[in-house]
Amino acid sequence: MSNFDAVIGRVIEGAKPSDIAVEQSLSIETVYLHSARARKLGLPMPQKVARKPRLGRERVTVSRKLLEGLGSHSAARGLTESELASRILEAVIFGHGIDALLPHGGPHA
């Protein structure tokens, strides 16, 4: 049996690509390539399962310089810099701090 056949057999059984890669001593990229090839050939492959969206957690990029500035404050509170940055943003947004920071309702000049 070829690697392709072994991989596709396990995919059809519902095995995870990472498990198949370990079992077959292949890279995970090879497992994905075999799966893509099988789909192109029209083999009865299981549908990819969409990941559930993570609700309530969006990403905001904060510069390293700002995070470093929060270092001593976050350590004193037992938080990471990212956790403290998130709490500060929540307080500003939900505590109506935006109006305090930008009192004229527009961009700060």
Res 45 pLDDT > 90: no
Going by pLDDT thresholds of 50, 70 and 90, the confidence category of residue 63 is confident
Residues 70-89 pLDDT 10s: 989 988 999 888 888 888 88
Going by pLDDT thresholds of 50, 70 and 90, the confidence category of residue 49 is low
Say how many C-beta atoms besides its own lie within 10 A of residue 8's C-beta. Answer: 22
pTM: 0.45
Say how many C-beta atoms besides its own lie within 10 A of residue 81's C-beta. Answer: 19
- Minimal CA–CA distance to 88: which of 65, 70, 63, 105? 70
CA distance 106 to 109: 9
In the chain, domain spans: 3-40, 64-101
